[in-house]
């Protein structure tokens, strides 16, 4: 082969090679500098860990006759050791498949007391460890019951996942409001504190990842639901923050880089039937909420670093216009997805820095696990395993949590 052709081929291969890690991190961190807006008493850009399973594990241990839950103890202790300010975990469990195991609401406004005591235990132990909690009150998706379960309980025909009638049918809305009223009025059996006044709670979220599929394209119906339900939470938990729990989907490209997003991701992000701007503007909402899963959303690998930086900074700017902090409630890259571990670490480090630079309230990577929880149970799992240091590669991101926690509050 002629040497010129060989050199040309080698240069072409090199040009198509992986982006250097430092460039990947820098692109992910490329966000405008803004003053911090804090999430209540939390320091600026506080780190929150997602560990959705705590009530479930606590309930199972109580059913065994244990006085405490080893999984809850380990998770909260390690979150504290890593410097996390809070843990985001389920404040709901309505799943028919969990009845007799860990379901809290087993029929409309009918409750399993042991399952409620499981949530009591999570609240009490979080207070013991000095770790705050962010608690979604329900789920849009089918897991642990979801919107579909409420529509089914209302006797409506052909309920589906993320059923739009959850947000519009009066019987369903009244049921959900009554459930929230009862839950926030509950007195914890371990420490005697009412949920709506419990010192371990940083914030309540109206729903995990509400979407407006099947609602009006302007987001008016979703905003009406947000106002009505959030007012109930504020009435019964006046000292706690309230957020929507949404992913940041919107009804138009106003305030976003339209050219980038039209090319980079699926169009559903901006044709959602739910408006991030409109929902965040609710007088009953204290902070803005976004999630970010680029691989699930069809973002190309080459666009992923910038997509995260834009998703965080653009939503933070909109929330800032409304005088509210942004909570990045979930973000993650698949352990077996587009990126190798070192690339994921570079992206995570860059996004943590982006969040700090642009003054978000808090960031919460998905998903932190106790040691015995199988890796295969969640495609985004990371650990802080017993007997290791945070930067052990088997932990994946524990050292990045330490770094981000050390950075938080330094502005």
Residues contacting residue 401 through CB under 8 Å, at least 6 positions apart = 47, 49, 82, 83, 84, 365, 384, 390
209 is catalytic: yes
Q: Which of 74, 330, 343, 403 is catalytic?
A: 330
Find where tokens 């002629």 sit.
2
Q: What band does 2 get if pLDDT is binned at 50, 70 and 90?
A: very low
- CA–CA distance, 227 with 234 (Å, rounded to integer): 10
Q: Which of 209, 246, 247, 343 is catalytic?
A: 209
Residues contacting residue 345 through CB under 8 Å, at least 6 positions apart = 21, 396, 397, 400
> C-alpha dihedral over 357, 359, 360, 366, to 10 degrees?
20
Q: What digits encode the pLDDT tens for the residues 344-366?
A: 999 999 999 999 999 999 999 99
- CA–CA distance, 27 with 151 (Å, rounded to integer): 44
The predicted model scores a pTM of 0.94
What sign for the dihedral angle of Cα 390, 201, 116, 330?
negative
Q: What digits encode the pLDDT tens for the residues 30-66?
A: 999 999 999 999 999 999 999 999 999 999 999 999 9
* CATH, range 20-407: 3.20.20.80
Largest Cα span, the chain: 82
- CA–CA distance, 381 with 344 (Å, rounded to integer): 13
177 close to 106: Cβ distance less than 8 angstroms: no
The more confidently predicted of residues 266 and 208 is 208
């Amino acid at each position: 082969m002629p040497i010129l052709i060989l050199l040309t081929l080698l240069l072409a291969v090199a040009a198509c090679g992986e982006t250097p890690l430092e460039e990947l991190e820098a692109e992910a961190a490329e966000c405008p500098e803004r003053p911090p807006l804090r999430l209540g008493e939390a320091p600026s850009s506080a780190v929150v860990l997602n560990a959705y399973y705590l009530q479930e594990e606590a309930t199972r241990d109580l059913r065994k006759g244990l006085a405490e839950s080893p999984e809850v103890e380990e998770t909260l202790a390690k979150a504290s050791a890593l410097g996390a300010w809070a843990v985001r975990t389920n404040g709901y469990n309505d799943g028919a498949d969990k009845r007799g195991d860990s379901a809290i609401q087993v029929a409309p406004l009918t409750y399993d007391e042991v399952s409620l005591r499981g949530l009591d235990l999570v609240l009490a132990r979080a207070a013991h460890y000095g770790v705050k909690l962010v608690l979604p009150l329900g789920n849009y998706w089918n897991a642990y019951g979801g919107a579909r379960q409420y529509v089914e309980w209302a006797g409506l025909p052909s309920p589906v996942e993320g059923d739009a009638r959850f947000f519009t049918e009066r019987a369903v809305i009244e049921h959900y409001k009554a459930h929230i009223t009862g839950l926030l009025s509950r007195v914890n059996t371990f420490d005697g504190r009412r949920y709506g006044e419990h010192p371990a709670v940083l914030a309540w979220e109206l729903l995990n990842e509400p979407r407006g599929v099947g609602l009006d394209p302007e987001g008016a119906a979703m905003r009406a639901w947000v106002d009505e339900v959030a007012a109930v939470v504020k009435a019964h938990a006046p000292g706690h923050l309230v957020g929507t729990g949404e992913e940041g989907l919107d009804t138009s490209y106003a305030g976003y880089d339209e050219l980038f997003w039209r090319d980079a991701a699926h169009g559903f992000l901006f044709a959602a039937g739910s408006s991030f701007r409109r929902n965040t503007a609710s007088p009953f909402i204290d902070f803005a909420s976004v999630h970010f899963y680029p691989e699930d959303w069809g973002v190309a690998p080459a666009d992923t670093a910038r997509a995260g930086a834009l998703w965080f900074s653009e939503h933070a700017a909109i929330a800032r216009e409304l005088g509210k902090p942004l909570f990045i409630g979930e973000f993650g890259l698949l352990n077996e997805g587009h990126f190798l571990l070192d690339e994921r670490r570079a992206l995570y480090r860059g996004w943590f820095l982006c969040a700090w630079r642009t003054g978000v309230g808090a960031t919460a990577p998905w998903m932190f696990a106790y040691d015995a929880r199988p890796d295969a149970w969640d495609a985004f799992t990371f650990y802080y395993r017993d007997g290791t240091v945070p930067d052990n590669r088997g932990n994946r991101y524990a050292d990045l949590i330490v770094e981000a926690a050390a950075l938080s509050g330094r502005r």
